[in-house]
Structure formats: C-alpha cells, structure tokens
Structure 1
Amino acid sequence: MKTRVLHVHDIPTPKCRVDQKLKELNYRVSSIEANAMDTLKSTRFEFMVLDVPACRLKQWLYEANNHYNVPLVWWCEERKPATAVPHDKIDGVLCCGMNDNELQWSLLVSIKNYQRRLHLEREYSFLATKFEERKVVDNAKIMLSTINNMSETKAYEMMRTQAMAERRKLVDVAQSVLAGVQDSRRPMERTPSRRNG
C-alpha cells in the first residue's frame, strides 16, 4: 500500500514541484490549498508537506498542528542559506536540490524527529501537571501548618492519611483544604432581617 502524503500549498512552487517528485517516488499524494486544510481532517495521512514560503511557515504550521497529528515536513524553496531552525514543530526539510535517495532518507528522518517531538511534548505535559500538583500540595501543607500551628511535615502526613482513608489523590485532598480555607475567609453575607409589621 502506498504511503499517503498531504501536500499543502498556498503559492505552489512552479520550478520544482514537490507533489510530482513524491508521486514519482511512488507516494500517494493529495494536494490542497493551505486555507482548505481543515476539509480533509477525516482522511489519514502519513506525512504533511508544507509547500509555503518561510514568511508564512509559522502561520500554516499552527493550522496544521490544530488539524493533524502527523510528521510535518517543509518544502523549502528559499534561496538564502538557513541561519536558524525554521520552527520547533518542523520535523524535516526537503528542497529542490535533493535527489530521490536524499528525499527518501529525509522523510525517514522526519518520522524519527516527529516521534521524538511527540515523546518530548508528552513528557513536558506530564511534568508540568506534576509540578502544578506539587505546588497545590505545598500550598495546602503550608496553610494547614499555619492554621493548626504544626510543622509542615505533620500537616503533610495529615493530608496523606486523609487521602489514604478516603481513597483519594493527595492533590484532591490538598485542593479541598485550600477551598475550605478560602471559604472560611470569605465574609459571611448578611441575610436581611424581616421586620414585623
């Protein structure tokens, strides 16, 4: 079965057409205009080749990441030598001067880069969540130790014991502690007293 490639362009490169090159290499290529990218969301592709100028690469990369979860390869027609990485979401770069073998290898490297990028994004998300949970637990621990005039270690053990007894996550208990403290600090609303007429 042929590898499916989505060729996305806003102003197609006329001199060295990437869609034709990929078809010659036995890829199954679908070409669409960049502003119609969301119309093929239900179709599966193994690659996306962005055939766009460098000045609009960031814009279309953002769109591509919103609609697809595939390796993103930039077809570079720029005449100037690259002085910096075009963007951190680009998994590979193809250019007109590459021969067939170089194109194939670049696409294989792009898959590896994509897998590495996905792994790093997941790891970052996991660590960011853990860090936020740690901040909540630390804030609750400090709050409990201040209110109950006990050490932070004792406050932490108290929350941990409660979490185990209630079969809840420690962060959930910590959020309950913080919410309870906030509720107790709010001024009580006075209910209007009824006058006897």
Structure 2
Amino acid sequence: MRALVVIENRNMPSRESSDGFHSPASAAAVLLRSGYQVTSAFTCEQALPLLPGAEACVLDVPVSVFSEWREQLTVHRALPILWWYSEHTANLKPSANLGSIAADGILSASMNPAELEWAFYFGARAYQTRRQWAKEREQLLTRLEERKWIERAKGLLSSMRSISEAEAYDMLRKQAMNERRRIGDVAASVVNAYQLLHERP
C-alpha cells in the first residue's frame, strides 16, 4: 500500500514541532519517512475528498474516538482502517468498555518499514475478511426474513384454500416463476394483501 490518508487529532498540540509540521513520531511523519504517499486531515470534511485515492486510512486519534471516526469515514467509502498506537492515542486501558472497535490493524512509531508493510498487508486481509463476513451475514439475514414471509404465506394459503403446506409452497413457487419475482417477495405480497383485506376499520 502506498497512498494513505492519515487522520490526525488537533487536540494533541505536543505532536507538532515548532515549525508547525508533524513531530518525528507522528503517524504522518513516520509513514512519509518509510516511503508512503501520505495526505493528512484533521476533520471529516477534509478527509472525505482524499478517500477516493487512498488504499487505506490511518487514524492517529485517541482510541476512545476511533469508532466514531471509523463510522464517519466508512459511510463514504469502505477501505482498510488502521489505528496508530502512541502514548497520546492510547488514552484508555484495553480493559475499558470500548464497544466494538473494528480496527483492521495497529501501527506504531517503533515499527520499521518492513514491519509497516506487513502490518498493511495483514490489515488489508483482515479488512477483506471482515467485509466478506458482513456480506454473508447480510445474505443470511435476508434468507431468514424471506423464510418468515414464506412460512406465513404458506399457512394463510393452506388455511384459506384447504390445501397442504406443500401445495401452498408450490403455488407460491409457480406464481414467483410466472411473475419472474423472488418467492419471498411473492409471499410478502400474499401476507400484506391478506392483512389489508382483513384489517379492522
């Protein structure tokens, strides 16, 4: 990875040198010295235009605000997000209740260029795995929701038409094929129509 966006926290004045540039141990300075193309931002508004050209984002911010930053950024673009560990950013103990901090990796000023490269490599893999899990979870939840609609529609059809649930399922499947729709959508239409017709005024 070469093009990085580094989010820096303005509330850490000790991080800047007298000329206003990055202190030697800041994420931006360390990554620049290690050969990465770095653009820095202090606010979400500054960061958003930089995200399309970035391969990863490094949050050089206190761990207590990591999740807030990550949420703001990933709404606009999904990419690996790593946390920069330092005495300034580790403002809470690991045992603190931080909720779900989904960092794809951790970096620090003590890492040499090879270690940083490996950290970015494994960070990218962790990111891809997390994305795949999220996609599979979403598909599973969709299937479960679809199954609920189908079961309800089967129950209604078998009751109204005095047929077995297997026959009711066949009706739904044939209707879905005729309309070129998903069987879950047809089942939802049946349930919604029934509720509409039998709704009390």
TM-score normalised to the size of structure 1? Answer: 0.83
Given that residues 37 and 67 in structure 1 are in contact (C-alpha distance below 8 angstroms), is that contact kept between their aligned partners in structure 2? no
Q: Which of these residues, 113, 116, 134, is aligned with residue 121 of structure 1?
A: 134
> SS where residue 98 of structure 1 aligns?
coil
Match of 1:169 among 182, 193, 201: 182
> CA-to-partner distance for each residue in 1:60-92, whole Å, 9 max, x for gaps?
111121122110000011277645897442101
Identity %: 30
* Structure 1 outlier segments of 4+, above 6 Å: none
Distance in 1, matches of 2:68 and 2:109, equals 22
Whichever residue aligns with residue 132 of structure 1, its letter is: E
Structure 1 residues 19 and 41: CA distance shift in structure 2, 3 A: closer
Contact residue 159 and residue 174 of structure 1 kept, 8 A: yes
For residue 28 of structure 1, the aligned residue among 9, 32, 37 is 37
Deviation at 1:135, TM superposition (A): 1.1
Structure 1 residues without counterparts, runs of 5 or longer: 189-197
Segment of structure 1 superposing worse, 12-21 or 63-72: 12-21
CA distance in structure 2 between the partners assigned to 1:88 and 1:122 by the alignment: 19
Considering Cα pairs closer than 8 Å and 6+ residues apart, tell me whether 1 or 2 has the greater RCO: 2
1:109 corresponds to which residue?
Answer: 122
1:5-44 superposed matches below 5 A = 5-11=4-10, 14=15, 16-37=25-46, 39-40=48-49, 43-44=52-53
The residue identity in structure 2 corresponding to 1:21 is V
Judging changes above 3 Å, is the alpha-carbon distance between structure 1 residues 37 and 134 closer, same or farther for their aligned structure 2 residues? farther
State the partner residue of 2:19: none
Query: What is the CA RMSD across the aligned residues, in angstroms?
Result: 2.5
Does 1:52 find its partner at 2:61?
A: yes
- Contact 1:37–1:64 (Cα < 8 Å) also in 2: no
Question: Which structure would you say has the larger Rg?
Answer: 1
> TM-score normalised to the size of structure 2?
0.82
Pick closer, same or farther for the CA change 1:144–1:34 going to 2, 3 Å: same
